[in-house]
Structure 1
Amino acid sequence: MKRLIYLLAAVMTACAAAPQAGLNVMTFNMRYDNPEDGENNWMYRRDRAAEVVTSHRIDVFGTQEVLSGQLHDLLDRLPGYEAVGVGREDGRERGEYCAVFYRTDRFTRVESGTFWLSETPEAAGSLGWDGACERTATWAVLRDRKSGAEFFFIDTHLDHVGEQARREGVSLLLRRIVAMSGGRPVILTGDFNAEPSSEVIAHVTRNGLLHDAKAIAAQVAGTPWSFSDFGAIPEGERPLIDYIFTGDRVAVDRYEVLPDTLDGGYVSDHAPVMAAIRFVKP
């Protein structure tokens, strides 16, 4: 009997110490469906964009600039995924989404929502500070179907013009993460319209709540930039403006800026950014 007890104890200890299964996460500015994009229009890119997700076995990803038609195009091409988010102009379907997609065979959505990066975050369509556009953040609490572990995923797109809007937007994001994550591991994705050396990105990581996935990754691959404007920007001048940030208890095994082209055509004017992560015990 003692031997059986010891064996059971050993198995339980080994299981407790075993790392949780990893996740592949991504941030992907899809570029809105603009008829003026010619050969780079969404109708020519949508299959390639979906293939990026499936070929890299992405479990959960945040998007930017997705219009309602694009959202449905992606869901049609990504069976087994669901999405949460609303249009930024009316809180329903008008305007760009910061949609969060996740695999339904792996996760159950516990709760989710969207707020606006403005002085009135619950007011749909509200414009914040000196921002040129309405800006949102979409979040979801997801539960792993096998382990029961939960995490807090949030995706955003900061303003491309307003410096105050970017600064105050980050402050709001940090407050909401603290208030809403409930102590769960946190993943923040998005297009921050700011380079790594900027005050905006320093603001995100300054208090230690979040860490740039690239900075803490065991392996780093891909280009040092994430925005090429469909190749119009000279390679040496292309900025990195798309990010994955992680909270404590998240290990980043690999970070990679993926190519912005596939099969001879662009997937977007931005390159997707992905990270292979694990949740670890404190």
Structure 2
Amino acid sequence: MRKLTSLLLGILIAAVVLLGGSHLWHSRGVEASVPRQGQLRIASLNTHYIVLDREGGPWSVAGWDRRKGAMAAQLGSIDADIVAFQEMESFRRGDGSVNLARDYLLEQLPAYAAAATGDWRDFPSTQPIFYRRDRFRLVDQGWFFFSETPDIIYSRSFDGNWPAFASWALLQDRDGRRLRVLNVHFDYSSGENRLRSADLVAERIAPWIAAGDHLVVIGDLNAIRGSKTATKLQEAGLALWPAAGASYHLNRGINLFPAIDHVLLAPGMDYAARPVLLREAPGGVWPSDHYPLVADLDYR
């Protein structure tokens, strides 16, 4: 079994190297450019859920206490205008009233307010969108589930798997322009769910694109550029310029796969530069098992 496991791992690594865009070593930090006046800096981070009843390990409350300072420091250094989060959940079955990560980061980063959040019984609060209070005003927010019944909260995914959803916020910039941010987290385990989720996103954003809205779709697609899932979103009218290298690192800074976290743009938005991933462990602590994704954007 050990030889078979080693052989399979070797094949996997060889395949990834041949695909390109990946690194097998621990990476140094990547510096994001300084945004120019009028540009928009948007970021995405899968924070990994916290299991309230777990006694040890990185995803327990004790693990969160160890990594939360590094996460706040990292987000502070990014200095984004908007940050979309995934898996920002303090997990206890049947009770979503506690959100340790959201509350801590809002306390540590007072320049931000939270959109796409609310009472967990009415609004799934595990994918909030932080925005700068001095630049944006919240106009509207909402959600839909990747499900046969997308407007029923916590409805299971298309194949009966755990619920997954999109959250969104409509923000008004201080110059009057409005921006829609759609924050997505596709199923990691089911290709069928990812494809059908992409179809649903395409359906929901079609009226916004037709109306000429400024729209950014951002988050954890669990899919690389060139996959059927990503291609469906591009065919729906979204541009995709992936960050180089891995965005998921196994919570060890080990980079095996091309990026699965992306920022996609509707017509009317442009990339000011290629999105980057900050491969840093402040104080030697990885804030999450995903790197933050950072993109500087232009309104057109």
Distance (Å, rounded) in 1 between the aligned partners of 2:58 and 2:45: 21
2:217 counterpart SS class: strand
SS at match of 2:295: strand
**Which of 291, 295, 300 does residue 271 from structure 1 map onto?**
291
Deviation at 1:137, TM superposition (A): 0.7
What is the alpha-carbon distance in structure 2 between the residues aligned to residue 83 and residue 259 of structure 1?
A: 25
* Match in the other structure for 2:276: 256
Instruction: Look up the match of 1:143.
Output: 172
Distance 1:161 1:91, change over 3 A: farther
Secondary structure at the counterpart of residue 266 of structure 1 = coil
Task: Report deviation, 1:159.
Answer: 0.7
Is 1:128–1:135's contact at 8 Å kept on the other side of the alignment?
yes
* Structure ID, larger Rg: 1
Instruction: Work out the percentage of aligned pairs sharing the same amino acid.
Output: 26
Offset of residue 20 of structure 1 = 7.1
- Partner SS, residue 238 of structure 1: coil
State which of 165, 168, 171 in structure 1 corresponds to 2:199.
171
Q: What is the 5 A alignment of 1:15-30?
A: 21-30=38-47
- CA RMSD of the aligned region, Å? 2.3
The answer to whether the 8 Å contact 1:252/1:277 transfers is: yes
Q: Aligned in 2, Cα 1:71/1:133: closer, same or farther, shift over 3 Å?
A: same
The equivalences for 1:102-141 within 5 A come to: 102-130=131-159, 132-141=161-170
Question: Following TM superposition, by how much is the alpha carbon of 1:88 offset from its aligned partner in structure 2, in angstroms?
Answer: 11
Greater relative contact order (CA < 8 Å, ≥ 6 in sequence): 2
State how 1:193-232 maps to structure 2 within 5 Å: 193-207=222-236, 209-214=237-242, 224-231=245-252
CA shift digits 1:64-116 (9 cap, x unpaired): 000122111111111021112348985446xx711111111100111111111
Contact 1:89 1:124 (C-alpha < 8 Å) held by counterparts: no
| 1:32 alignment partner, one of 23, 29, 49 | 49
Residue 71 of structure 1 aligns with which residue? 102
Please name the residue that 2:14 is paired with. Answer: none
Which has the larger displacement, 170-179 or 264-273? Answer: 170-179
Structure 1 residue runs of 5 or longer lacking an equivalent are 1-18, 215-219
In structure 2, do the counterparts of structure 1 residues 140 and 89 end up closer, same or farther at CA, with 3 Å as the change threshold?
A: closer
The equivalent of 1:85 in structure 2 is 116
Q: How many residues end up aligned between the 2 structures?
A: 249
SS at match of 2:44: strand
| Partners of 2:119 and 2:263 in 1: CA distance | 21
How far is the alpha carbon of 1:251 from its aligned partner?
1.6
Residues 229-280 of structure 1: CA distance to partner in whole angstroms, max 9, x if unpaired?
1117x53x23421111111121211211111422211011001111011101
2:96 is aligned to none
Cα distance in 1, alignment partners of residues 150 and 37 from structure 2: 35
Q: Summarize deviations over 1:150-193 as a string: whole Å, max 9, x none.
A: 11111010011222211111111111112346421110111111
TM-score, with length taken from structure 1: 0.81
Does 2:181 match 1:161? no
CA distance in 2 between counterparts of 1:155 and 1:142 reads 13
TM-score by length of 2: 0.76
Query: Deviations for 1:33-80, whole angstroms, at most 9, x for unmatched residues?
Result: 144434992212212212222212100011100012211111111102
Partners in 1 of 2:109 and 2:160 — Cα distance? 33
8 Å CA contact 2:224, 2:260 repeated in 1 = yes
Q: Distance in 1 between matches of 2:127 and 2:218?
A: 10
1:132 CA drift (Å): 2.5
Q: Partners of 2:208 and 2:140 in 1: how far apart?
A: 11
